[in-house]
């Protein structure tokens, strides 16, 4: 992976190359990718991907590939409840 930026576009912090777990919302669904090559800011944690990596994740989702595993995720809402 070639590093194109030396600083985080969010906060200006330094970037380290590492493999991360990335969660990608897509419509009503949520996809999780493991071992994703990324540049991660040492200050704010913002992750940057090379175009080829982003394209591969999009291709996997659009191609409806069958994942090697599934996990259930609990969903909570913190929306205030109005009392009648």
Give the pLDDT score at 35: 96
CA proximity to 37, closest of 11, 1, 72: 1
The contacts of residue 16 (CB under 8 Å, 6+ apart) are 39, 40, 42
Give the pLDDT score at 14: 95
The contacts of residue 66 (CB under 8 Å, 6+ apart) are none
The contacts of residue 43 (CB under 8 Å, 6+ apart) are 8, 11, 12, 13, 14
pLDDT greater than 70 at residue 77 = yes
pLDDT greater than 90 at residue 5 = no
What is this structure's pTM?
0.76
Give the pLDDT score at 4: 55
Q: Could you read off the pLDDT of 23-41 as tens digits, one per residue?
A: 999 998 899 999 999 999 9
């Amino acid at each position: 992976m070639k590093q194109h930026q030396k600083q985080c576009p969010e906060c200006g912090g330094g970037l380290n190359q590492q493999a991360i777990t990335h969660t990608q919302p897509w419509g009503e669904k949520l996809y999780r990718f493991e071992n994703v090559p990324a540049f991660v800011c040492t200050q704010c944690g913002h992750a940057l991907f090379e175009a080829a990596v982003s394209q591969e994740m999009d291709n996997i989702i659009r191609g409806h590939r069958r994942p090697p595993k599934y996990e259930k995720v609990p969903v909570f809402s913190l929306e205030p409840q109005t009392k009648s």
